[in-house]
Amino acid sequence: MSEYIVEMKNITKRFPGVVANDDITIQIKKGEIYSILGENGAGKSTLMSMLFGMYEPDQGEIWIRGEKVNIKSPNQATKLNIGMVHQHFKLVRNYTVTENIILGIEPIKRYGGLFPYVNLNQAAKDIAKLSKRYGLEVDPNKKIEDINVSLQQRVEIIKMLYREAEILIFDEPTAVLTPQEVEFLLKIIEELRNGGKTIILITHKLEEVKKVADRCAILNKGRLVSVLDVKDTSTKTMANLMVGREVSFEVAKKPSTFGEVVLKVENLWIRNQDNFDIVKGVSFNIRKGEIFAIAGVSGNGQIEIADAIAGLRKISQGNIYLNGKNIKDLTIRDRIEMGISYIPEDRQDVGLILDFSLAENLSLKDYYKKPFNENGFLNRKVINDYGAQLIEKYDIRSGQGIKTQVRSMSGGNQQKAIIGREIELESSLMIFVQPTRGLDIGAIENIQKMILEERDKGKAILLISLELDEIMSISDTIGVIYNGEILKIQATQSLSINEVGEFMMGVKYDD
Amino acid sequence: MIRAKMNKAFLKIFGKEEWYLVTIPVFLILLSFIVAAIIIIFLGKNPFLAFYNLLQGSGLAPKPAYGGHKSMLTDFLSLLNYMTPMIFASLSVAIALKGGLFNIGVSGQMLFGGFFATILVGYSGLDWAIAKPLVLIVGIIGGAIIGGLIGLLKHKFNINEVVSSIMFNYIIQYVFSFFIHGYYIDPVSRQSKYISDASRLTLVNVQMFNLKMDLSIGFIIAIILAIAVKVFLDKSRLGFEIKAVGANHKGANYAGINVGRTRVLTMLISGAFAGLAGVTYYLGYFASIQPRVLPSMGFDAIAVALLGNLHSYGIIAASFIISIIDKGSTYMSSKAGVRQEIASVITALILLFSACSVYVQHKIQSKKDNLEYKARKEIK
């Protein structure tokens, strides 16, 4: 018996145009928390997806408990006692917790020894036992759609345990959680380790690694850079290895000077498709030169507010004033022309047309104006020249310049293209939703710098982000949203990250 | 080693990347003819002879004997005549697909345009100088009405265009069949009465070089409009908006494009082309309407448009190939004794294989990546 429970030897995986994993060898001991650290696109998830049977390696071998295995499907991985919590949960929304957990391996009982049925009572009991043992309390009879993200994650964890997983893979588990919930999750992970499980933690957050992991493997651009003992290594060293150069965590920020009010949102109500009030009476102002951030756990109505201001979503009540004019009944294009730039959350599905060229995407909001459009026909030369100009100015990197299909570009460069296009509109209000999500550290620095530059130029900026660190470091004012209501609006300097975290969970103070 | 060589040879067939749009379809068409040949061999016939008969039947190869006033040229002109509505119908499908809409109702729109052109102009006795343009206009308007209506239903009530266009197909087919049977039937042919020669878009039995030829006016219009469609989609503002809505309607909406309006316009244009297909079919290639039957061309056009990669020139080429097979099949069955249905099998094979073009492209790309990767490794 080998001392390692998981060994991945010389793994190579290629996707069209990229080598996602290049000759990677890692060995994981039983009962340790092993962290896979790397920037977005470094190949962490790909590597672990192969362990979980979602892809097969092009080259290399996987050994589990000293035996060579060929994992062809997640089912096979489950049989080898491997479990995985994905970044996007794989739950059936209108099923109960119990039903989700037993899905696929339902305990069967027979009425009178004949007619089979799913023994839900037995399952509920087993689940209650499991959750008590690891401190993972959930109500087994609630439906998934009625419980919050952190509880859904618990369901995913119990799901693995119920399948008797010994090797637990967590893919960026803290991305959707508040600071307090992160603390709690890390405790659970340690608890699981103490219970004899082997944990693989995929993350790009250094503090988490430092806090719980025993060892960590650092990946950069598909290659294994180093395997370190976490307790002997500083966060700074890990960060430098991860990025491949020196990084600074500080954002240079000038003191703010606010001008007159640009955006005034008054008693805004928004209803979703199910006729459910998702935003309930939100009011706030944003002034010139101010970065107003809405902090909150995902799904509390913040995206809907941004969509409503940009005109992508109808409002059921309230008013939106831009520079003193009520814009609530204007079309999207009218609002753009009135001075709204919008960097949407979903850059691939909303912000860009992936099958179009870079040049076409860069003039996506100008193509109908002169000189881009003359008498109903587009002037390709103007579009191309304008594209080339923006590529240069915003350092957008791509394979074939203006002709590049945007689909083939990296996430960071796609985002730079959107931000460049939106800045060039010279709007008085800029809305940024999750501007740095999924980007690597270099791109994040770059984009945060651009947002601050726009602020210093005197623009009003609405920032919606799930990254609390980002909000704390660049915003001037924070409004914390919970369940469709803004609970608190306060200057950023006067708030601590923990206070914001508490408001995000709906704790109200009477002050 | 042998594998690597085979891979390289496989890649060589397709040439440079810019040419994939041409080389991949050609490769697939050849492949389908090979499969068709195997089927014909199993039937105990000579596949080369059968394929040669197809060319002879469609005027691309000389027949051993011709009837009076006939020659290879007349056969070829007849092919162009048949191909004309096919081009229009395929353009109709292609425009809708570019806009992200699936117009499966081309047949109904053809019949709608064709029926009104027949009763309003075909039976009117107008002079040709007025009648012929009027036929085109009625066809365009007729098709556009139905197409636009389908677009409007989608925009206003979110009714899926596939469902509504299939329903319109049925309504048009049976309602018009009722009127044809009731008012316009020719008791001998059991079809609608023949239209006047003045209103027909094909000049029939034109005497030249001692031959009687069918000259299709529609064919010239089809080629011109195919080029116009390309320019429209590539260069115009509306074309850009249609493509944007088709490629990503959420993104288009975000950019301020009025998605609903663009969709209605897309269907309006698509319907107009279907109407043109209808008049060149019913008042060009034919001169009457068979009641209770929808032209299968409206459905074949979906496949032709896809075979032509939704590209104007590709559609002309694809229509040409499919028309040869359709048109030549009668001669093939009489000469080689291969039944006419085999022609449909060949067509179906081409369409089946051409549906694999994305797969072939993927295959080429991954082989390329593999070769490059190995080359880099060796250098290291």
* Closest C-alpha among A181, A204, A1, A165 to residue A80: A165
Q: What CATH number is given to the structural domain containing B308? A: 1.10.3470
Subunit contact B253:A312, Cβ cutoff 8 A: yes
Q: Where are the beta strands (DSSP E) in B169-312?
A: 185-186, 191-192, 202-208, 211-216
The answer as to whether B45 is a domain residue is no
pLDDT in tens, B21-41: 788 888 888 999 999 999 989
The answer as to whether A339 is a domain residue is yes
Note the pLDDT of residue B377: 66
For A497, other C-beta atoms within 10 Å of its C-beta total 13
Residue A168, beta-bridge partner list? A83, A199
Give yes or no: residues A227 and A293 share one domain.
Answer: no
Q: In this complex, is the C-beta atom of A313 within 8 Å of any C-beta atom belonging to chain B?
A: no
Q: Report the domain count for chain B.
A: 1
Domain-terminating residue out of A243, A272, A293 = A243
Note the pLDDT of residue A508: 63
How far does the CA of residue B380 sit from the closest CA of chain A (Å)?
14
Give yes or no: residues A33 and A90 share one domain.
Answer: yes
The answer as to whether A489 is a domain residue is yes
The answer as to whether A385 is a domain residue is no
Give yes or no: residues A160 and A233 share one domain.
Answer: yes
Note the pLDDT of residue B379: 67
Give the pLDDT band of residue A371 (cuts 50, 70, 90).
very high
Give yes or no: residues A139 and A66 share one domain.
Answer: yes
The answer as to whether A238 is a domain residue is yes
**Residue B79's domain spans which residues?**
68-316
Site from A331, A353, A418 to mutate, B interface, most B CB atoms within 10 angstroms: A353
Judged on CB neighbours under 10 Å (0-12, 13-18, 19+), A432 is buried
Between the two ends of chain B, the Cα-to-Cα distance in Å is 20
Give the pLDDT band of residue B362 (cuts 50, 70, 90).
confident
- The residues, ordered by sequence, that sit 6+ positions from B223 with a Cβ below 8 Å of its Cβ are B87, B316
pLDDT of residue A182 exceeding 90: no
Q: What CATH number is given to the structural domain containing A108? A: 3.40.50.300
Site from A361, A363, A364 to mutate, B interface, most B CB atoms within 10 angstroms: A364
The answer as to whether B230 is a domain residue is yes
Subunit contact B248:A354, Cβ cutoff 8 A: yes
Note the pLDDT of residue A136: 85
The answer as to whether A341 is a domain residue is yes
Residue in chain A closest to B367 (alpha carbons) equals: A16
The answer as to whether B356 is a domain residue is no
For B309, other C-beta atoms within 10 Å of its C-beta total 19
Site from B230, B240, B309 to mutate, A interface, most A CB atoms within 10 angstroms: B240
The answer as to whether A251 is a domain residue is no
The answer as to whether B4 is a domain residue is no
Q: In this complex, is the C-beta atom of A367 within 8 Å of any C-beta atom belonging to chain B?
A: yes
From chain A, the residues in CB contact with B243 under 8 A are 356
Give yes or no: residues A141 and A238 share one domain.
Answer: yes
* Closest C-alpha among B152, B163, B159 to residue B265: B152
Give yes or no: residues A238 and A265 share one domain.
Answer: no
* Closest C-alpha among A348, A341, A443, A345 to residue A405: A348
Give yes or no: residues A217 and A105 share one domain.
Answer: yes
Q: Which of B237, B244, B252 sits opposite A373 (nearest CB)?
A: B237
Which helix (H) or strand (E) segment holds residue B143: the answer is helix B128-157
| Triad A87, A92, A95: Cα angle to 5° | 140
Count contacts between A and B (CB, < 8 Å).
Answer: 67
Give yes or no: residues A178 and A276 share one domain.
Answer: no
CA atoms within 13 A on the CB side of A42: 25
Tell which A residues from 371 to 430 touch B, by Cβ distance under 8 Å: 373, 376-378, 380
Residue in chain B closest to A379 (alpha carbons) equals: B235
Give yes or no: residues A128 and A220 share one domain.
Answer: yes
Give yes or no: residues A228 and A151 share one domain.
Answer: yes
Residue A216, beta-bridge partner list? A35, A228
Nearest-angstrom CA–CA distance, A358 and A361: 5
pLDDT of residue A243 exceeding 90: no
The answer as to whether A364 is a domain residue is no
pLDDT in tens, A424-474: 999 999 999 999 887 777 788 889 999 999 999 999 999 999 888 899 999
Residue in chain A closest to B240 (alpha carbons) equals: A378
Q: Which of A17, A312, A353 sits opposite B244 (nearest CB)?
A: A353
ipTM of the complex: 0.85
Q: Report the domain count for chain A.
A: 2
The answer as to whether A362 is a domain residue is no
Least confident of A444-448, B16-20, B42-46, B258-262: B16-20
**Residue A343's domain spans which residues?**
261-355+426-504
Q: HEC profile for A278-306?
A: EEEEEEEEEECCCEEEEECCCCCCHHHHH
